[in-house]
């Protein structure tokens, strides 16, 4: 039996933060991951995705300026993209593990299963710990219909040696849209099949409709209110059956991808043996991120059922909170600042704070500013058609409650709105600021 002060399941950003912080305070720490060290974001999500998007951004910009100073639209070399992306990924796991070892942290490379409230089976080892942290992240939802196993994962997409000529994405969330935009700009025929009335349901729908428009102009076929019920392999293609209220439809594609959501990766841990309360959304915790049913257990990141969005910076924040409470005793309550989130399509769609619907549910006295601004200078100089904003202002405090944008580089502009919401800046104070011009941030004063 190996014994630790702290043992962590999962080596993503939450687990890494907790392990290194606890070790720096002299605690004996162990960590395990059944996948390469680094977690989803660094190895199978945000980072590799953003590297790949870089090439499509160049093509998109050139296409928009064709005839306005640009004569040739460059082609995307998929193999070169993959090699460039891999140059970032290859060095990561070993670099992270060496960092753990340097900090005196014991490293394991196996799945973990609970044996009791504070003991685990980790590969061939048995581990006992004063505190166990579940930071196991999330994984693709299992498709339980016939032929569901034929659907590839988002990880598979990010490691495609060659891009198929036709792709179908099951689910209308941000993963589907981001990858659909990448594939379409690289010349593939793309279909998204979504069972709901509208895609990206958690985003401000007035802004989503602009993204839907941009996606259709790119040639992406969006099929709504249709549930995929089976996948059948046919020679070199797959036949996907979709069921709507009115009819049965069939779609064909060389590759099918499961983008139907990512539940927490906790259901293989034998949580019942440790008396850990959980729901389908994650481990149930208190305000200190400690399990409500087992005091040995803390949770952070996508494995946690919390108010935090499933974003890397949120996982880091939760990791710092957990580490502090393990080191000092429960004295730090989790507190979430405004959490900006971005759909990295082209154009990007970004959001922070309340939607109009949420603000009304909470009975705020609000003023709404919503406008498509494809005629503004920044849109015209970049030849961007879809540029729009929706801001939600609290009439009583004259502060911003929410901001929702689509257009060029909204992934950067949204951070300024996040700062304004967090610091409760008055609308008039923002309006009277001088921003460098002509930048996209200078448009903010006209969005209030």
Range in 33-42, 160-169, 178-187 with the lowest mean pLDDT: 33-42
Residue 266 pLDDT level (bands cut at 50, 70, 90): very high
Between strands 106-108 and 29-32, the pairing is parallel
Across the range 106-111, mean pLDDT stands at 98
pTM > 0.85:
yes
Q: Model confidence over 222-243: pLDDT tens digits?
A: 999 999 999 999 999 999 999 9
Share of the chain above pLDDT 70, in %: 100
Three-class SS of residue 255? strand
Q: Which residue has the tokens 């003991």?
A: 119
Closest CA to 369 of 350, 391, 399, 402: 391
- Burial 426-441, CB ≥16 within 10 A → b, else e: ebeebeeeeeeeeebb
Residues making up the chain, counted from first to last = 448
246 pLDDT more than 90: no
Across the range 122-137, mean pLDDT stands at 97
Q: Model confidence over 384-415: pLDDT tens digits?
A: 999 999 999 999 999 999 999 999 999 999 99
Mean confidence (pLDDT) of the chain: 96
User: What is the token pair recorded at 353?
Assistant: 């704070």
Q: Which residues contact 209 (CB under 8 A, 6 or more apart)?
A: none
Q: d(Cα 447, Cα 83) in Å, to the nearest integer? A: 41
User: What is the token pair recorded at 358?
Assistant: 């949420």
Q: d(Cα 63, Cα 42) in Å, to the nearest integer? A: 30
The pLDDT, as a whole number, for residue 417 is 98
343 pLDDT more than 90: yes
Residue 277 preceded by cis peptide, ω within 30: no
């Amino acid at each position: 039996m190996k014994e630790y002060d702290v043992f962590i399941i999962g080596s993503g950003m939450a687990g890494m933060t907790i392990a290194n912080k606890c070790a720096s305070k002299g605690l004996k720490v162990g960590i395990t991951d059944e996948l390469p060290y680094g977690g989803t974001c660094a190895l199978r999500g945000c980072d590799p995705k953003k590297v790949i998007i870089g090439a499509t951004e160049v093509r998109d910009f050139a296409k928009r300026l064709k005839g306005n100073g640009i004569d040739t639209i460059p082609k995307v070399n998929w193999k070169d993209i993959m090699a460039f992306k891999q140059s970032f990924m290859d060095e990561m796991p070993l670099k992270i593990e060496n960092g753990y070892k340097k900090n005196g942290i014991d490293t394991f490379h196996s799945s973990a299963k609970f044996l009791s409230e504070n003991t685990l089976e980790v590969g061939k080892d048995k581990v006992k710990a004063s505190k166990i942290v579940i930071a196991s992240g999330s994984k693709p939802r299992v498709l339980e219909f016939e032929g569901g196993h034929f659907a590839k994962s988002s990880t598979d997409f990010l490691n495609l040696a060659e891009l198929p000529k036709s792709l179908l994405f099951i689910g209308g969330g941000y993963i589907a849209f981001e990858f659909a935009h990448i594939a379409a700009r690289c010349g593939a025929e793309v279909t998204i099949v979504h069972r709901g009335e509208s895609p990206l349901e958690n985003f401000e729908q007035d802004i989503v409709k602009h993204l839907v428009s941009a996606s259709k102009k790119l040639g992406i076929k969006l099929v709504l209110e249709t549930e995929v019920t089976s996948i059948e392999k046919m020679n070199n293609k797959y036949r996907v059956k979709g069921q709507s209220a009115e009819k049965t439809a069939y779609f064909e594609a060389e590759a099918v991808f499961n983008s139907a959501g990512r539940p927490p990766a906790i259901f293989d841990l034998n949580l019942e043996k440790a008396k850990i309360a959980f729901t389908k959304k994650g481990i149930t915790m208190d305000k200190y991120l400690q399990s409500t049913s087992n005091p040995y257990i803390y949770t952070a990141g996508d494995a946690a059922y919390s108010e935090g969005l499933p974003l890397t910076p949120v996982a880091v924040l939760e990791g710092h909170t957990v580490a502090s409470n393990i080191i000092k005793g429960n004295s730090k309550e989790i507190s979430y600042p405004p959490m900006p989130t971005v759909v990295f399509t082209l154009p990007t769609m970004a959001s922070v704070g309340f939607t109009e619907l949420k603000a009304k549910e909470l009975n705020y006295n609000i003023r709404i500013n919503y406008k498509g601004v494809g005629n503004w200078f920044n849109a015209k100089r970049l030849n961007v058609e879809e540029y729009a904003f929706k801001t939600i202002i609290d009439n009583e405090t004259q502060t911003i409650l929410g901001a929702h944008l689509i257009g060029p580089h909204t992934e950067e502009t949204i951070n300024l709105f996040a700062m304004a919401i967090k610091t409760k800046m008055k609308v008039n104070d923002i309006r009277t600021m001088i921003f460098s011009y002509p930048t996209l941030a200078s448009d903010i004063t006209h969005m209030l």
